[in-house]
Amino acid sequence: MVHFVGAGPGAPDLLTLRGAKLLGEAGCIIYAGSLVNPALLEMAPEGCPIYNSAEMTLEQVLDTIRAAEADGRDTVRLHTGDPCVYGAIREQMDALDAAGIPWDDTPGVSSFCGAAAALGAEYTLPGVSQSVIITRLAGRTPVPEKESLASMASHGASMVLFLSSGMLPQVQEELLKGDYTPDTPAAIVYKATWPEEKIVRCTVGTLAAKGAEAGIRKTALVLVGSFLGQGGYERSKLYDPSFTTEYREASL
Ligand code: SAH
């Protein structure tokens, strides 16, 4: 059996209890070495073989899983953040289905949540934005034409860009083609929740310059939108005294 496990954004104590249990019982671990905190590997049972998938192809990952299966050992496939975001898990799950190897999936804290926590931010402020766009700039992996950054930016919604911090000048240019202005608040969060975490607060107009100044080129998220600004939002209905909910009568 293969357990896909979300390792969380970096801090080892952000792994879920379920993930920790699975790691502690693993018969084989394949971890995404470029971003999974190696401190998590200390939870592995003594003698458990550990492989870094950053140095492997999909075929080699599958061969390693098959060898563990033949040996009666379960594999933990450890992905950074939550496996469902840019995790390349679907191709593994489909290959495992084809090979008749069962699997399950344990979520983790995605880095876009870790970055919001680092900034003390809420993406979904009433009166500001009620949507979060998770996207990336096209790189070696293309982005469908209809999802170009400029068209995504036309909504002016809260936005998180993965895998794009090495291309900040292009990011800035594309964002400005949409509804954001040079004054729209933005932030770059490098290695959210790691000890070396770095936060750069800026605006869309200063994004590229501030990123270059801080020397950030990878392992970072770009957050954009008025949710990062000061105020300008409305109170929630949920906690409004004049609002009746399923759990509480209005008191005003
Ligand atoms: N599944 C992961 C994302 C994998 S794609 C998740 O849910 O977070 C890898 C990209 O994620 C990186 O290039 C970077 O943009 C982002 N990333 C992952 N961990 C990060 C962290 N701790 N801080 C900032 N960005 C991070």
Look up residue 143 and give its amino acid: V
For residue 84, the model assigns a pLDDT of 98
Q: How far is the CA of 80 from the centre of ligand 1 (A)?
A: 7
Is the pLDDT higher at 232 or at 175? 175
Q: Are 30 and 104 in contact (CB under 8 A)?
A: no
| Token pair for 107 | 């979520």
Residue 9 reports pLDDT greater than 80: yes
Average pLDDT across the chain, whole number = 96
196: which residues sit within 8 A by CB, 6+ positions away?
A: 190
Best probe residue, ligand 1, of 86, 141, 224 (max atoms within 8 Å of C-beta): 86
For residue 251, name the pLDDT band (cuts at 50, 70, 90): confident
Is the pLDDT higher at 249 or at 85? 85
Best probe residue, ligand 1, of 80, 140, 159, 199 (max atoms within 8 Å of C-beta): 80
- Nearest residue (by CA) to ligand 1, atom 13, is 163
- Counting residues of the chain whose pLDDT is more than 70, the rounded percentage is 100
Region of 49 on the Ramachandran plot (φ > 0 left; ψ -120 to 50 alpha; else beta): beta
Region of 207 on the Ramachandran plot (φ > 0 left; ψ -120 to 50 alpha; else beta): alpha
Best probe residue, ligand 1, of 90, 111, 197, 223 (max atoms within 8 Å of C-beta): 111
Q: How far is the CA of 244 from the centre of ligand 1 (A)?
A: 39
Q: How far is the CA of 96 from the centre of ligand 1 (A)?
A: 25
Average pLDDT of the residues in 230-249 = 89
Number of neighbours of residue 18 by Cβ within 10 angstroms: 15
Beta bridge partners of 105: 4
Q: Are 203 and 185 in contact (CB under 8 A)?
A: yes
Question: What's the pTM?
Answer: 0.96
**End-to-end alpha carbon distance in the chain:** 56
pLDDT of 136-162, one tens digit each?
999 889 999 999 999 999 999 999 999
Which stretches within the chain are classed as H helix? 17-24, 58-70, 90-99, 111-119, 149-153, 168-176, 207-214
Best probe residue, ligand 1, of 219, 222, 223, 224 (max atoms within 8 Å of C-beta): 219
Is the pLDDT higher at 151 or at 231? 151
| Token pair for 68 | 């563990």
Measured in residues, the chain has a length of: 252
Q: Which residues' Cβ are closer than 6 Å to ligand 1? A: 9-10, 35, 79-82, 85-87, 110-111, 114-115, 162-163, 189, 191-194, 219-221
Angle between helices 90-99 and 58-70 (to 10 degrees): 40
**SS3 (DSSP) at 20:** helix
Which stretches within 155-248 are classed as H helix? 168-176, 207-214
Residue 252 reports pLDDT greater than 80: no
- Ligand 1: atom nearest CA of 111 is 8
pLDDT of 64-82, one tens digit each?
999 999 999 999 999 999 9
Domains and CATH numbers, the chain: 2-106 (3.40.1010.10), 111-228 (3.30.950.10)
- Ligand 1: atom nearest CA of 34 is 9
For residue 34, the model assigns a pLDDT of 85
Average pLDDT of the residues in 184-196 = 98
For residue 232, name the pLDDT band (cuts at 50, 70, 90): confident
Average pLDDT of the residues in 27-35 = 95
- Counting residues of the chain whose pLDDT is more than 90, the rounded percentage is 90
For residue 238, the model assigns a pLDDT of 87
Residue 245 reports pLDDT greater than 80: yes
pLDDT of 96-121, one tens digit each?
999 999 999 999 999 999 999 999 99
